[in-house]
Amino acid sequence: MLTSTFTFLQGIGPTTERRFWQEGVTDWQRFLKQPRIAGLSPDRKSLYDRELALAQSEYEAGDLRALASRLHRRDHWRFYDTCRSGLLCLDIETTGLTPHDGANAVTVVGLHRNRQTTTLVQGDTLTTNRLQAELDHCTLLVTFFGTVFDVPFLRAAFPQLRFDMPHFDLCLAARRLGLRGGLKHLERELGIERDSALCGLNGMDAVRLWAQWRQGDRTALELLLAYNAADTESLAPLASLLYKEMMLQFGPVSSSSASTTPTFHSSPSR
């Protein structure tokens, strides 16, 4: 999907991009091989050729962060297939305070890649260097509402962190598909299972469990870490499901082949 993307070109929006696809110009190579493109002047075609040749060079070199910087955030889902082997699912827990409360506001960071989960805890393993090391090995960041919640909290708590990789925010993708509700709601609707002992917990419970742990309750920390791991691990199957639906509705296929997706009416929540 990534090499079928033209919306990072100046003046090209979703409508023109879809027209390209419908006319058989379905990827960068086909665009570059065409001497002329309907609706484009020779000068404009030459300009786009240069930009696409640069994008192709970056793609072949694996420098996807440069391309991500030019592509609108809502289109970062397009990196999924290219970056699948290096994606990192991330989910945080907080004290219930705001990002402006600094490092103490973030209590737990869950990281899931290649079917392995790592949990970083405030006051122990949660440090700037450890987080940055994890992010540096990531080709695609996957979160749920992370552009609004997780990343702003982490930036405030650890100002030196770099978030220059593509970022697939599943909540934003779900909204574009007409899906409503928080992560747990979507899990239930889409058949993603979690341990029954964790099903009733939510973000406010995470705040409570951290406070209990700080007061000496070891079992509270164990439950908090299990809850965070469940949230983090569910992002991987959810990303796969949403990507497939995004491809059907917004990828280089006939719009008539897009599947019908049910609409949920509850508001997003943690």
Q: Tell me the pLDDT tens digit for each residue of 150-178.
A: 999 999 999 999 999 999 999 999 999 99
What does the pLDDT read at residue 102?
66
Using the predicted structure, report yes or no on whether residue 4 has a pLDDT greater than 80. Answer: yes
pTM beyond 0.75: yes
**DSSP class per residue in the chain:** -GGG--TTSTT--HHHHHHHHHTT--SHHHHHH-S--TT--HHHHHHHHHHHHHHHHHHHHT-HHHHHHHS-GGGGGGGHHHHGGGEEEEEEEE-SS-GGGGGGGEEEEEEEETTEEEEEETTTT--HHHHHHHHHT-SEEEESSTTTTHHHHHHHHSTT----S-EEEHHHHHHHTT--S-HHHHHHHHT----GGGTT--HHHHHHHHHHHHTT-HHHHHHHHHHHHHHHHHHHHHHHHHHHHHHHHHSSS-GGGPPP-----SPP--
Q: Is the dihedral of CA 78, 81, 168, 201 positive or negative?
A: positive
Question: In terms of Cα–Cα distance, which of 123, 128, 121 is closest to 158?
Answer: 128
212-223: b (≥16 Cβ within 10 Å) or e = bbeeeeeebbeb
Query: Could you report the per-residue pLDDT of 110-155, keeping only the tens digit for each?
Result: 999 999 999 999 999 999 999 999 999 999 999 999 999 999 999 9
194-234 pLDDT per residue, tens: 887 788 888 899 999 999 999 999 999 999 999 999 999 99
**Domain locations in the chain?**
2-71, 81-257
pLDDT at position 39 is: 93
The chain-wide mean pLDDT, for the chain, equals: 90
Q: Collect all residues with Cβ–Cβ distance below 8 Å to 249 and sequence separation of at least 6.
A: 176, 177, 255, 258, 259, 261
**Residue position matching structure tokens 């090995």:** 137
81-257 fold: Nucleotidyltransferase; domain 5 (3.30.420)
Residue 253: predicted pLDDT:
67
Which pLDDT score is estimated for 104? Answer: 84
pLDDT of residue 262: 38
Q: What is the pLDDT of residue 201?
A: 86
| Phi then psi dihedrals of residue 194, to 5 deg | -135, 165
For residues 52 and 99, which has the higher predicted lDDT (pLDDT)? 52
Q: What is the pLDDT of residue 2?
A: 95
Residue 268 has pLDDT above 60, yes or no: no
Would the CA dihedral through 91, 96, 100, 102 be positive or negative?
negative
pLDDT at 260: 41
Q: What is the pLDDT of residues 235-261, one digit of tens each?
A: 999 999 999 999 999 999 643 344 443
pLDDT digits (tens, 9 = 90+) for 79-109: 999 999 999 999 999 998 777 776 789 999 9
